[in-house]
A = this chain, B = another copy of it.
Amino acid sequence: MKKYKDLLSKNNIAPSFQRIKILEFLDKNRTHPTADMVYQALKKKIPTLSKTTVYNTLKKLSQSNIIAELHLFENEIRYEYNTDPHIHFKCLKCGKIYDLDETYDHYENNFIDGHKVIEHHVNLKGICRNCLEK
């Protein structure tokens, strides 16, 4: 996939087969997976893949801001392909995490109590529309 190869090269990350596949997976599966979920999914197609490579790659990609590390509600890291600012909603019933297109940049580059705000993260919890219907 040229798209991913170019993106990696542009960020001075050698576009190895594994890295391209991990990046492609995150682009095509917007499910906020953990490192282990990425590993489990890709292992099927790349039997030789190691968890170490997944961890190393995810760290490299997030350091280059190609993907984002999420620290949502549990004590675990989840990853997502970097996109426009948005907020996260987690369903308390089914556990699914949704991206919401709310920008909510109320605080961005603003000052609160004298503190300069650079980043903001809004995490919501509740019951998702699918679970409400049941």
Within 8 A of B (CB), among A120-134: 120-129, 132
Within 8 A of B (CB), among A60-85: 71-77
How many residues of A are counted as interface, with CB atoms below 8 angstroms from the partner's CB atoms? Answer: 35
Q: In the complex, which of the residues B120, B125, B128 contacts A125, with contact meaning CB atoms closer than 8 Å?
A: B120
Q: Which residues of A contact B (CB under 8 A)?
A: 71-77, 89, 91-92, 98, 100, 102, 104, 106-107, 112-129, 132
Copies of this chain present in the complex amount to 2
Given known contacts A75-B71, A75-B76, A126 and B115 CB-to-CB distance under 8 angstroms? yes
Q: Is the CB of B124 within 8 A of A123?
A: no
A72-B119 Cα distance, complex, nearest whole Å: 13
